[in-house]
Amino acid sequence: MTRLLVLLVFTLIWAAVTGSFAPLNLGFGLVLSALALFLIRENVQPSRIAVRPLGVLALTLLFFKELALSAFKVAVLVSRPKMDLKPGIFAFPLRVDRDFEITLLANLITLTPGTLSVDVSDDRRFLYVHALDCADPQATIRDIADGFEAKILEAFR
Amino acid sequence: MTLWLAIPVSLLLVGGSIFALLAALGVLRLPDVYTRMHAASKAGAVGSGLLLLATGLGSQDPAILVRAAAGFVFFVLTAPVSAHLLARAAHLARVPLDPASVRDDYRSGQTDTLSK
């Protein structure tokens, strides 16, 4: 059932991206989506993920706000004549534990002010994050834990 | 194109170009590969996002707008992944952090990752 839904969504995305909702193109999109899903069938097991639409919306809004802030911050930083950098890599203790949550969090961290995810530890308990300003990693860790991580937990638990 | 469409489109174009320029400047000026990834992933994503939005709005064609939006979504999905992979590869290849760096928690955990 879920797969059928995914198939339909993929077909619609194909139609939107190619810019034509003609029956022939929809059919072609359906075939392509089925082929794509067939190729990754082993990697996507049907899972019970509770999605809260309001939580997802809050996460999306927070993301766009942080993305704009982030780009602005980097822009201001590189246009200064003298760059004051204290870069470093700190370990961020993860509260989320499922693969897609870690991926989502890592991507969000990369697109937010001054932080860039580098790697996940082998036991998946820590996310290594590079920060442009690593003078106070505890504060950065708190910001991420109370911001994105809390929102992700709200949206998908 | 009416004036009321032309004004936001031009603003988006100029804004996007400025962000793209600053991203390039950041890649040029920042001291090491890790800090450079910051500029490339963020300012670059926002710059191209604004330019794509300007294209979509300027065309006055919903089909093109949808495709521009899809382009932006793909950019936001792929830019962090490539920045992350480049930074990780650099660290695994033992590219040193800039001397100004204050800490590196990753170094200690790296031996297990290398031996895999």
Residue B27: both structure tokens together? 């890649």
Say if the Cβ atoms of B106 and A122 lie within 8 Å.
no
Among B87, B85, B108, B78, which residue's Cα sits nearest to residue B35?
B87
CA A44 to chain centre: 18
- In chain A, where the domains are located: 2-39, 53-156
Mean pLDDT, 10 residues at a time, chain A of 157 residues = 80 82 87 88 66 80 82 79 78 82 84 81 83 80 83 78
Measured CA to CA, the distance from residue A110 to residue A70 in angstroms comes to: 10
**B25 touching A, CB under 8 A?**
yes
Best probe of the A interface among B84, B85, B95, by most A CBs < 10 A, is B84
pLDDT in tens, B10-30: 999 999 998 888 888 888 888
Say if the Cβ atoms of B30 and A83 lie within 8 Å.
yes
- Here the ipTM equals 0.71
Q: Which residues pair with A131 in a beta bridge?
A: A88, A115
CA B48 to chain centre: 8
Report yes or no: A103 and A147 within 8 Å, Cβ to Cβ.
no
Who among A19, A74, A106 is closest to B42 (CB)?
A74
- In chain B, where the domains are located: 8-97
